[in-house]
Amino acid sequence: MKIHCEKEALLKSINIALRAVPVRTTMPILNCLYLQAFDNVISLSANDMELAIRTEIIGEVIEEGSLALDAKILSDIVRHLPDAMVTLETEEGDRVVIRCEQAVFHISYQTGEDFPELPEVERRNHIALSSFTLKEMVRQTIFAISDTGTNRMMTGELFEVKENRLRMVALDGHRISIRTVNLEESYDAVKVVIPGKTLNEISRVISGEADDIVTLFFTENHVVFEFDDTTVVSRLIEGEYFRIDQMLSNDYETKLCVNRRELAGCIERASLLVRESDKKPVIIRVEDGSMQLSLKSVLGSLREVIPVEKTGRDILIGFNPRFLQDVLRVVDDETITIYMVNPKAPCFIRNEAAGYNYLVLPVNFGAGDVD
């Protein structure tokens, strides 16, 4: 095999493929990137058996062939080459020569015969959306998935397509994040659960530009993401997702409009007094025109009052400050609306026009938690 390409193009592809190289594996071949050069197309693949990535490199195939190279060594070397043309060529024996200007590297390679290629997935049901929208929707929901893995379904996100509407849902038993968006066209119905890890990796490799399109194909067991010169195939989480619609409600007793930054700053300050081991609630007392937040812990206490626009009843309610923080960090609106029923019932931070709905369960608190 012999190929010729620009360092930057090669490095860009390596950085994409690296996302599917496992941190630990019992199959040594998975630590490699698999390079293929046929029919004037150079491609680079990686596969951790859950997630597989194949990306094309713009370059010239001088001699066809394929080989597998240790991902870490290859990426280290290419990252440190001068910005110039790179030639990669197999030698007699098991060595490959990487040449760039005056630098000549020799490293050993494997044939890659045992490299698990990307699963063949039938491309039938699909949707298309902008890279920007996909990246934003993942960012605005993924914090609510559970990473403990005691319930596998909670480690993924629901992707639900109905006509021209895409809904993404993440939950962990204490909260639910929902984002919906209108797609340009109507599509066949889809309801699948994509692993959180896949969505994290996708977010890192897609451009995030509004003008770039990502196409998703769904089958019973796989989802395929296609964008630019890259294909990502991931397994789905099998089984039925939680019935979330019955957990959602539009009824409320108290409705608050509050400045997001002010509330976020205040909850961040309250969190400073919370040690990991000692979960303390932030207590919110809502009265006409004002919202008092307070938190008491062994380290000290904070009390802060911020102005709100209130409709409905006064309320005294406690929350895990982190759950509110997580929502306030990802919402873009300057003013947010919070809907509450009573101190035991879920509260909602919601804006239907903007396509988001966050459910957060309150927590119990005792007289000692109130300042």
- Judged by the rule CB under 8 A, the positions of this chain that interact with its own copies are 70, 73, 76-77, 80-82, 95, 102-108, 265-266, 268-269, 272-273, 299-306
d(Cα 61, Cα 148) in Å, to the nearest integer? 46
Dihedrals phi, psi of 10, to nearest 5 degrees: -65, -45
Give least dist CB 296 to its own copies, A.
9
Q: How far is CA 178 from CA 158, 299, 355, in A?
A: 9, 35, 8
| C-alpha dihedral sign at 129, 135, 141, 145 | positive
Closer of 153 and 306 to its own copies (Cβ): 306
Write the DSSP assignment of 34-96 as a string of letters.
EEEEETTEEEEEEE-SSEEEEEEE-EEEEE-EEEEEEHHHHHHHHHTS-SSEEEEEE-SSSEE
Closer of 173 and 289 to its own copies (Cβ): 289
Among 249, 219, 258, 216, which Cα is nearest to 236's? Answer: 219
Residues sharing a CB contact under 8 Å with residue 284, sequence separation 6 or more, in sequence order: 291, 292, 293, 315, 316, 317, 318, 319
Structure tokens that stand for 6 in this block = 């620009």
d(Cα 229, Cα 105) in Å, to the nearest integer? 27
One-letter amino acid at 360 equals V
Closer of 46 and 81 to its own copies (Cβ): 81
Give least dist CB 242 to its own copies, A.
35
Closer of 186 and 301 to its own copies (Cβ): 301
Q: Are residues 59 and 5 in contact, defined by beta-carbon separation less than 8 angstroms?
A: yes
Q: b/e per residue, 145-160, with b = 16+ CB within 10 A?
A: bbeeeeeebbbbbbbb
Q: Are residues 75 and 15 in contact, defined by beta-carbon separation less than 8 angstroms?
A: yes
Closer of 15 and 125 to its own copies (Cβ): 15
Give least dist CB 95 to its own copies, A.
8
Give least dist CB 31 to its own copies, A.
13
Give least dist CB 294 to its own copies, A.
9
Q: Are residues 249 and 219 in contact, defined by beta-carbon separation less than 8 angstroms?
A: no
Closer of 171 and 293 to its own copies (Cβ): 293
Give least dist CB 291 to its own copies, A.
11
Closer of 107 and 121 to its own copies (Cβ): 107
Give least dist CB 303 to its own copies, A.
5
Closer of 125 and 292 to its own copies (Cβ): 292
Give least dist CB 287 to its own copies, A.
15
Give least dist CB 321 to its own copies, A.
12
Closer of 105 and 348 to its own copies (Cβ): 105
d(Cα 321, Cα 326) in Å, to the nearest integer? 9
Residue 349 forms beta bridges with which residues?
Answer: 338, 358
Closer of 103 and 257 to its own copies (Cβ): 103
Residue 125 forms beta bridges with which residues?
Answer: 218
Give least dist CB 176 to its own copies, A.
28
Helix axes 7-17, 71-79, angle to 10 degrees: 150
